[in-house]
Amino acid sequence: MDNKHIVENIVNLLGSKQNIVSVTNCMTRLRVVVKSEDGVREAELKKAEKVLGLVHDRACSYEVVVGPGNSRTFADICHELGLPAAASESADWKENKAAVKAAQKNTRAKELLKVTGDIFVPLIPGIIAAGLCAGFASLLTQLIPTYQDSPGWYLLHQLLTLINVSFMSYLTAWAGYRAAERFGATPILGGMLGMITSLSNIDTVSQILGLYNADSPLQSILRSGKGGVLAVICGVYFLSIAEKKIRRKMPAGLDIVFTPLLTLLLCSIPYVLLIMPAFGYVSSGIVWVFSRVCMSESAAVRLIAGYAASALFLPLVASGMHHGLVALYTVQLQELGFVTLYPALAMAGAGQVGAAIAIWQKAKRLQHDKLCSVIQGALPAGFLGVGEPLIYGVTLPMGRPFITAGLGAGFGGAFVMLCQVASTTWGPSGLPGAFVMTAGSGGAVNSILMYLIGLCISYVMSYIITKALISDAEVRTALGGIPVEAAGAAAEAEAARRKTVRRGDAIPFPSKTTQCFEYVVKSSSGIHARPAGALSALVSKLGCEVTVKCGEKTASAGSVMELMQLSASQGSRLEVTVCGANAGNAAQALMQFLNDKL
């Protein structure tokens, strides 16, 4: 199918155009908000053409992994089909009442982190462009110290700096605009409140009120930029509440004039006097923590922090808890002018590459052509910093390689944090990420070199650990491969049957049988990561295809991620289907497991 038909198919599997509230995109994913989950056919969507994976970690919100390039192309096609990039005012809380109730199942902390990610995702292209320009400008000044004497190089430096400053100077305005869209306020009002944060008039207000420290402006209770994007997000949230309340009471004929005016007047005063100073201390506290950990004078502290950050980053991504890191990056960038945490986290994707190479070698030796093909197609993207094809296509479905990749990546993270590598932005990783790793200790060239060495360490250590800990049996059964025991038994059975028939007779082959049973979850924790992993490991040994249905959702029991996305809690009824030559015995083993674990 061409791209338009592929997108139309994805839209239909999401419940049709009428079910979709909004469609946006990040570097590798379509981010879709739907009115109802009832019409979404998740099992079919995961198998659709060009779909590499599906993340559903929040009610009525789906992230369809389609890879770099495709994500923006598909989003544009969605917009051409009439699907909005942001929820319209008609899609108010009354229309999405069911979605709001469903969202209450999530923890407030997880929802808050997700909201933060939603605000910053559309800003990522600008963040990357500004950061790359800052990196190139820094590299230029180090490689060509006399650049100012050459009109050409000097002009290039000025243009690069101009692009970077155009974004960084008004970051709070962009964040305010996006926050207003996310909270349902008028976007331009959110942008104006964000713009107020960075204007020099704030210093004048602070001087009038006696809150400005002229001897040490950075120590002022109130100053320009105080609180940064964290203050903006909080301020715009209250602005959205105020605007809606004012609009409800404002006569229609006066709404266009007085609602925006009253909203800004009422919100700007407490925002400048209360929210900005309060979040200024929050931002300072965050930077202080980073300074004591990521930038610690103790090499041991930096080593431990770098290892932990890299090793745990992708599990955070899988659980949907990584969204809040964007706010931390932004705070560091605003307060320090660089980011120290991101270079270590960028090693996590390199760990996936090393683990995938180790698995590919084993798969090639075992003649597992399907697994080899998947890895060969995903590796180039992995080297370029796009890890989703490897994560959702190889390591996460297999289970343990996802862990060994993180363990190996930790060594690279420890190295780059030990060497105090810092970036001018976040977003690019893998080999292209070297161009933004120019703000570290020792200058741009040294910082880039240390980053590349860190990548190599992550590749090698993940390769070694994965090759040592992942068995041939695990590789053979990956992505629906035949277990070693089942393959041997099938060969013996076939040989025996051939001995019992005469020449010219048809050779009978055993047909697959199907067993089905239902089970009600008794555990108060439901299907969380640990039982999902144990169930997946059991299924890989049984040699049968096992699917689990909970309500309208269906999952392959061999996939930890799919099992967790069932959201099966205590009292949920599971419909288990077992297909294979040994379905009867497999069903009994599965029933025993569920009775013991769930």
Active site residues: 26
Task: Tell me how far apart the alpha carbons of residues 306 and 203 are, in angstroms, rounded to a whole number.
Answer: 38
Find tokens 């100012």 and name the residue.
Answer: 148
Tokens of 191: 């942008």
Query: Which 3-state string (H, E, C) describes 350-418?
Result: HHHHHHHHHHHHHHHHCCCHHHHHHHHHHHHHHHCCCCHHHHHHHHHHHCHHHHHHHHHHHHHHHHHHH
Task: Tell me how far apart the alpha carbons of residues 437 and 446 are, in angstroms, rounded to a whole number.
Answer: 9
Report the SS3 class of residue 339. Answer: strand
Task: Tell me how far apart the alpha carbons of residues 256 and 234 are, in angstroms, rounded to a whole number.
Answer: 24
Q: Are β-strands 553-556 and 545-550 bridged in parallel, bridged antiparallel, or unpaired? A: antiparallel
> Can you name the residues that pair with 518 across neighbouring β-strands?
575
**Alpha carbon of residue 566 to chain centroid:** 19
Tokens of 3: 């791209």
> Can you name the residues that pair with 517 across neighbouring β-strands?
576
Task: Tell me how far apart the alpha carbons of residues 427 and 384 are, in angstroms, rounded to a whole number.
Answer: 12
Task: Tell me how far apart the alpha carbons of residues 594 and 539 are, in angstroms, rounded to a whole number.
Answer: 12
Contact 51, 59 (CB under 8 A): no
* Amino acid making up residue 577: T
Task: Tell me how far apart the alpha carbons of residues 411 and 100 are, in angstroms, rounded to a whole number.
Answer: 42
Q: Which among 179, 133, 219, 436 has a CA at the least distance from the CA of 327?
A: 179
Find tokens 């059991």 and name the residue.
Answer: 538
> Can you name the residues that pair with 64 across neighbouring β-strands?
30, 54
Task: Tell me how far apart the alpha carbons of residues 436 and 352 are, in angstroms, rounded to a whole number.
Answer: 21
**How many C-beta atoms lie closer than 10 Å to residue 346's C-beta?**
31
Task: Tell me how far apart the alpha carbons of residues 133 and 129 are, in angstroms, rounded to a whole number.
Answer: 6
Tokens of 439: 């703000």
**How many C-beta atoms lie closer than 10 Å to residue 75's C-beta?**
22
Q: Which among 14, 189, 10, 184 has a CA at the least distance from the CA of 96?
A: 184
- Angle (CA) 124 128 133, round 5°: 150
* Amino acid making up residue 419: C
